[in-house]
Amino acid sequence: MTESTLHRICVAGASGRMGRMLIEAVCRADDCQLSGALDVATSPAVGMDPAAALGLSSGVAISADLRTGLNRAEALIDFTRPEGTMAHLQVCRELGVNAVIGTTGFSDAQKQQIAEFAKVIAIVVAPNMSVGVNVTLKLLEMAAKAFDTGYDIEIIEAHHRHKVDAPSGTALKMGEVVAAALGRDLKECAVYARQGVTGERDPSSIGFATIRGGDIVGDHTVMFAGIGERIEISHKSSSRVSYAQGSLRAVRFLSGRKSGLFDMADVLSLK
């Protein structure tokens, strides 16, 4: 494969858990090339080869300078924090670099700004890049339409002790998909906490429960609890590899696209 046919990818958060997984996936993919790696200026990894831990040489160094890291990239893959991602997207827009965003916890205002960026560059935004999770979302849409009456809906998610936002972006997306299938607005029917004497459950509500502990990569279960039966649709991640491979599929999907806002359902032709 010639260099001109390679997908040139910059990875943000290069020294983090997900960043390292992404870098390995890019370096081992025949049709991808690591063209840059970004991290915060205080990271001890700045200046190092991001592939060195894999026993490889990528030919690039981790940089805290956004333009240096993005200068040769076709696409950025970003699983960092909302504030960092927004700064990265600003430079992506200036340089014409597409973006695959797995960051979660965006405010409504930040989501609107991402939509504005997508008028200039092509962006895939998804709270979970796993192919399995996105197929699960499609199954949830089908299930919710069938269980539209007589079933209480609860969403339970579990992640590692280091995760900073709750509920997870994936759990919220599951709630949005279920609510939309039922003709509801998640902002109006979501219940995120229960304590004390709460009274009977509102049948139109969608409940969320959050677990944080250990090294759980990510578990999500949506429960449809009826009278005499309970249906559970679950997805459990044992490795971040699925997120990395899904991200590469998103990069390939964006190749040749100049603008537009997409999600993994677009990438996987699930719409």
Residue-range domain boundaries for the chain: 3-125+240-267, 131-237
Check whether 1 has a pLDDT greater than 70. Answer: no
Burial environment of residue 166 by CB neighbours within 10 A (0 to 12, 13 to 18, 19 or more): middle
Cα gap 208→45, rounded to integer Å:
37
Question: How do residues 141-151 score in pLDDT, each as one tens digit?
Answer: 999 999 999 99
> What residues form DSSP beta bridges with 123?
99, 261
Helical pair 241-254 and 131-146, crossing angle rounded to 10 deg: 90
Sequence-ordered strand ranges (E) for 102-201 = 122-125, 152-159, 190-191
Residues 167, 212: Cα–Cα separation, whole Å: 10
Amino acid at 68: T
Q: Is 220 a catalytic residue?
A: no
Q: Which CATH architecture has domain 131-237?
A: 2-Layer Sandwich (3.30)
CATH classification number, 3-125+240-267, choose in 3.10.180.10, 3.40.50.720, 1.10.1040.10, 3.90.700.10: 3.40.50.720
pLDDT tens sequence across 119-158: 999 999 998 899 999 999 999 999 999 999 999 999 999 9
pTM given for the model: 0.83
Query: Which member of 7, 88, 160, 163 is catalytic?
Result: 163
Pick the catalytic residue: 7, 159, 220, 235?
Answer: 159
Instruction: Give yes or no: 162 in active site.
Output: no
Beta partners for residue 221, in sequence order: 156, 234
- CA angle 54/5/77 to nearest 5° reads 50
Cα separation values, 67 from 94, 121, 189, Å: 10, 16, 43
pLDDT exceeds 60 at position 197: yes
- pLDDT per residue as tens digits for the range 15-71: 998 999 999 999 999 999 999 999 999 999 999 999 998 888 899 999 999 999 999
Give the integer Cα–Cα distance in Å for 249 and 207.
Answer: 32
Question: Which residues, in sequence order, are CB contacts of 195 under 8 Å at separation 6+?
Answer: none
Question: Residue 3: what pLDDT?
Answer: 54
